[in-house]
Amino acid sequence: MTGKEKRALRAEGSLLKPEVWIGKEGVTSGSLANIENTFNTKELVKIKIQESCPLNKNEVAGIICQKTGAELVQTIGRTLLIYRPFPKEDQ
């Protein structure tokens, strides 16, 4: 992903509200399922990491991106913005 594409996604993401919250359990199968469900309707997902999360933001981002195949666009404080394009349909 180019810098220009990331800038455009960051601008779009600034208007979003967090869709997924990661809490004291850390990254669970339930939170990953919630992220996958969100990716069914959106390409860009904002995730908020609560203070009670035992993992740091970089660990959370790494796990989520690895498990979902998404790409980290931005990290601000305890908020992650991740992107995964819709699959291309064969015509």
Q: What is the CATH number of the domain that holds 63?
A: 3.30.110.60
pLDDT band for position 90 (50/70/90)? low
Helix, strand, coil abundance in the chain, percent, nearest 5: 35, 20, 40
Q: Does the pLDDT at position 1 exceed 90? A: no
Output the CA torsion 23→59→64→24 (10° steps).
Answer: -10
Chain segment 27-44, per-residue pLDDT in tens: 999 999 999 999 999 999
Q: Does the pLDDT at position 87 exceed 90? A: no
For residue 38, is it within any domain?
yes
Range of the domain at 20: 3-83
Contact of 7 with 36, CB cutoff 8 Å: no
Quote the CA–CA distance of 50 and 26 in Å, as a whole number.
9
Quote the CA–CA distance of 3 and 77 in Å, as a whole number.
21
pTM of the predicted model as reported, rounded to 2 decimal places: 0.88
If one counts the domains in the chain, the total is 1
Q: Does the pLDDT at position 2 exceed 80? A: yes
